[in-house]
């Protein structure tokens, strides 16, 4: 029987997140595989997968903050806000020549902190029951509402590269869940009056999980995957509370136990992950998730 756990995968370019899930299902010999947030086919980097009952942890990872490394090209805007879309506008060499490094850094500064961001039109957000990207590909215009996101870091790495038809810059971005890096490139280009889009995107961190610890699929072996055990995975994304085995049994039976936590918390009995709980009153805890196959009886 496959031990439940998380698998960190370094997604290659050209694959969808669903492609990665399908491949891992075959490698692991199980259908119970899910992921904690998609990456576009163009993008590379960290994809957090859950296998077997550890898929229950993914809901607590999806909302974690993330780090991306990207290359932004100023000078043209595209339908998809990345290199794969049709070009909507192209700045002239004269217009680009007027954009200085200090102009770019000044506009980047306005995109840090708590901002209102309109998602990319080709996002997976549903509009009238249909994904926005499907409507755009069908030729429809989509108007999405701005949403609050936090950009903790938006910094240029290395030199800004100027040419007669484009300005390229490498950046690192720390952001809240729900941020569209493509939209940051779009908005930076729009603010500078020359248009902008992404040419490269790599996710390097999701919460406490990092791409340096991820598996490259080309190195994956059938029935041998470097899973993070569920109990270790839970402690990597949630506070942890040790409870008595009698309380573990009570939670398994759908009962509440005494205690208080400030946020969703993993509860353990020794080396066993019982579940995830939240406060349900002044001194009461209720379960959000139970790992019933791992809770010992008393």
Catalytic site positions: 40
Dist. CA 221–CA 27, nearest whole Å: 7
CB 32 within 8 A of CB 236: no
CB 98 within 8 A of CB 112: no
**Tokens 């993914």 belong to residue:** 58
CA 226 to chain CA mean position, Å: 21
Structure tokens at 97: 């020549």
Dist. CA 273–CA 291, nearest whole Å: 7
Dist. CA 234–CA 104, nearest whole Å: 40
Per-residue b/e over 187-210, b at no fewer than 16 CB within 10 Å? Answer: bbbebbebbbbbebbbbbbbbebe
Dist. CA 202–CA 71, nearest whole Å: 9
Per-residue b/e over 13-46, b at no fewer than 16 CB within 10 Å? Answer: eebebeebbeebeebbeeeebebbbebbbbbbbb
What are the phi and psi torsion angles at 28 (to 5°)?
-90, -15
Dist. CA 121–CA 118, nearest whole Å: 9
Q: How far apart are the first and last CA of the chain?
A: 23
């Amino acid at each position: 029987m496959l031990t439940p756990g998380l698998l960190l995968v370094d997604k290659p370019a050209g694959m969808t997140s669903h492609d990665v899930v399908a491949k891992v299902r075959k490698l692991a010999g199980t259908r119970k595989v899910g992921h904690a947030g998609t990456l576009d086919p163009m993008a590379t980097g960290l994809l957090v997968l859950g296998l077997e009952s550890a898929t229950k942890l993914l809901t607590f990872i999806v909302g974690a903050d993330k780090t991306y490394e990207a290359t932004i090209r100023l000078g043209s805007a595209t339908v998809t806000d990345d290199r794969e879309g049709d070009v909507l506008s192209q700045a002239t060499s004269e217009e680009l020549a007027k954009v200085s490094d200090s102009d770019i850094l000044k506009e980047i500064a306005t995109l840090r902190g708590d901002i209102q961001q309109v998602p990319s039109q080709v996002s997976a957000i549903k509009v009238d029951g249909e994904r926005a990207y499907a409507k755009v590909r069908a030729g429809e215009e989509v108007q999405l509402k701005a949403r609050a996101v936090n950009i903790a870091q938006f910094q240029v790495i290395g030199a800004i590269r100027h040419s007669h038809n484009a300005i390229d810059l490498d950046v690192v971005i720390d952001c809240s869940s729900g941020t569209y890096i493509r939209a940051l490139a779009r908005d930076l280009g729009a603010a500078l009056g020359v248009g902008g889009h992404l040419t490269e995107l790599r996710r390097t961190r999701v919460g406490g999980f990092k791409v340096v610890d991820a598996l490259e699929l080309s190195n994956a072996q059938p029935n041998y995957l470097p899973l993070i055990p569920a109990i270790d995975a839970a402690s990597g994304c949630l506070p942890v509370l040790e409870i008595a085995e009698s309380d573990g049994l009570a939670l398994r039976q759908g009962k509440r136990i005494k205690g208080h936590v400030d946020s969703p918390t993993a509860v353990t009995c020794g080396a066993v992950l019982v579940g995830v709980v939240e406060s349900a009153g002044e001194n009461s805890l209720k379960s959000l998730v139970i790992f019933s196959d791992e809770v010992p009886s008393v």
